[in-house]
Amino acid sequence: MRTTVGIVGAGPAGLLLARLLHRSGIGSVVLESRDRAHVERRQRAGVLEQGTVDVLRAAGAGERMDREGLRHDGIELRYRGERHRIDFPALTGGRSVMVYAQTEVCKDLVALQLEEGGPLLFEAEALAVEGAEGDRPRVRFRHEGREDVLECDYVVGCDGFRGVARKAVPAALSRTYERAYPFGWLGILADVPPSHDELVYARHDRGFALLSMRSPTVSRLYLQVPAGTDAGEWGDEAIWDELERRLETADDWRLRRGTITSKSVTPMRSYVHEPMRHGRLFLAGDAAHIVPPTGAKGLNLAVGDVVTFADALIHLGDTGSAERLDAYSETCLRRVWQAERFSYDMTALLHRDPAATPFEDRVQLARLERIASSRAAAADLAEGYTGFPLGERR
Ligand SMILES: Cc1cc2nc3c(=O)[nH]c(=O)nc-3n(C[C@H](O)[C@H](O)[C@H](O)COP(=O)(O)OP(=O)(O)OC[C@H]3O[C@@H](n4cnc5c(N)ncnc54)[C@H](O)[C@@H]3O)c2cc1C
């Protein structure tokens, strides 16, 4: 099998890249190790930055998002029972975010790809990327019980943190930067209307809590738990009781309880692999970097990477200049590190670090008070949350 761009992985990065290339007349083949149902049901991110919304619309993948997504103009910070709203449009010159689940983004992109795009093979597991240093990189993969080879002009590794593409970069050329956190998030989905119409980020002496939503009838809520916690240790009532404690306010706000339909623990990690390019292999999304979910940046970073790659390849076709492709890693990493910094800061701002001293606890509260009382500090948070520029765009 032969194609222009071999894409490993059909998460948001791989699916959107295939769509962008198809719209520009560039051929691609997507290899995905899991089946379609798994790709469409995996519960993950839910907040789309303004730039991501614009890209999905421009790619012709925004119709259902515009119908069913929830535009959010702010978030609420809670601490010591106080409530403080961050007004995005007022602080950023009009920007907002969209609450639309990653599962729905993937469903929309899978449907478009199968209807209009190039091959998307499910249950096709990439085994290795080979020959990245030469002109003809290859992906060795297994599909329907047989081993096969996909020959390409370029390979883009969109295969997430545990994929194989990153392994094709020689260890001597790889630099990794990592931080593991001593806590994770216990996340639930519940059949109950959200208890607030915007996301609520709560800092509490017992730990962080987040109130979020997937739709007007489905709530998504999270609790900070120690790293390594098994979701099964938490009974449903215990989860609601703990959420109630951490989200409590001094006014008459109340948490609505409902049937919990899913429960899982997400570990928290910051990770960056440099460079994001080796020869004709390009890494995009979680294959190259991970952020803790506090800043809602993971999916949005993946979108930024594939937009940068698609623009660079189109630019090569239009002008003959490989300048943008050559700058891919550098261009992406500038934005990646801003998102890493933002996600790290949001995590430190809101979580209880078990090793924190009483002094550090007081500094954390002082930071929150600064955001609540200074327009400049609030604007910095709002700019980071609604997203860093996507760079050169067509
Ligand atoms: C449990 C969890 C919860 C999260 N929650 C949030 C959140 O609340 N907010 C937020 O902003 N972000 C969240 N994230 C991060 C966000 O979901 C990711 O950043 C986003 O999915 C990145 O997209 P991606 O396409 O780069 O990678 P992925 O979505 O990981 O997609 C990679 C794809 O590659 C496939 N693949 C892997 N190996 C191979 C192989 N060898 N061959 C072929 N295919 C392969 C995988 O099956 C997968 O479909 C969460 C992540 C996880 C893991």
Q: Supply the pTM of this predicted model.
A: 0.95
pLDDT at 392 over 60: no
The average pLDDT across 43-47 equals 87
Can you point out the beta strands (E) in the chain?
A: 5-8, 28-31, 47-49, 70-72, 74-79, 82-87, 97-99, 120-121, 124-130, 138-143, 146-151, 154-157, 175-191, 199-203, 209-215, 218-226, 259-274, 277-278, 281-283, 289-290
Please state, in angstroms and rounded to a whole number, the distance separating the CA atoms of residues 200 and 247: 8
For ligand 1, is residue 45 a contact (CB within 6 Å)? Answer: yes
| All domains of the chain in start order, with CATH | 5-70+101-177+269-353 (3.50.50.60)
In this prediction, residue 43 carries a pLDDT of 81
Q: Is 72 a catalytic residue?
A: yes
Cβ distance 74 to 189 under 8 Å?
no
Alpha carbon of 232 to ligand 1 centroid (Å): 23
Q: Is 201 a catalytic residue?
A: yes
pLDDT at 394 over 50: no
For ligand 1, is residue 36 a contact (CB within 6 Å)? Answer: no
Please state, in angstroms and rounded to a whole number, the distance separating the CA atoms of residues 294 and 298: 10
Residue type, 92: T
Question: Which residues have C-beta within 8 Å of that of residue 5, sequence separation ≥ 6?
Answer: 17, 21, 26, 27, 28, 29, 152, 153, 154, 155, 156, 313
Can you point out the beta strands (E) in 207-336?
A: 209-215, 218-226, 259-274, 277-278, 281-283, 289-290
Question: In this predicted model, what pLDDT tens digit does every residue of 343-361 receive, in sequence order?
Answer: 999 999 999 999 999 999 9
Q: Output the average pLDDT for the chain.
A: 96
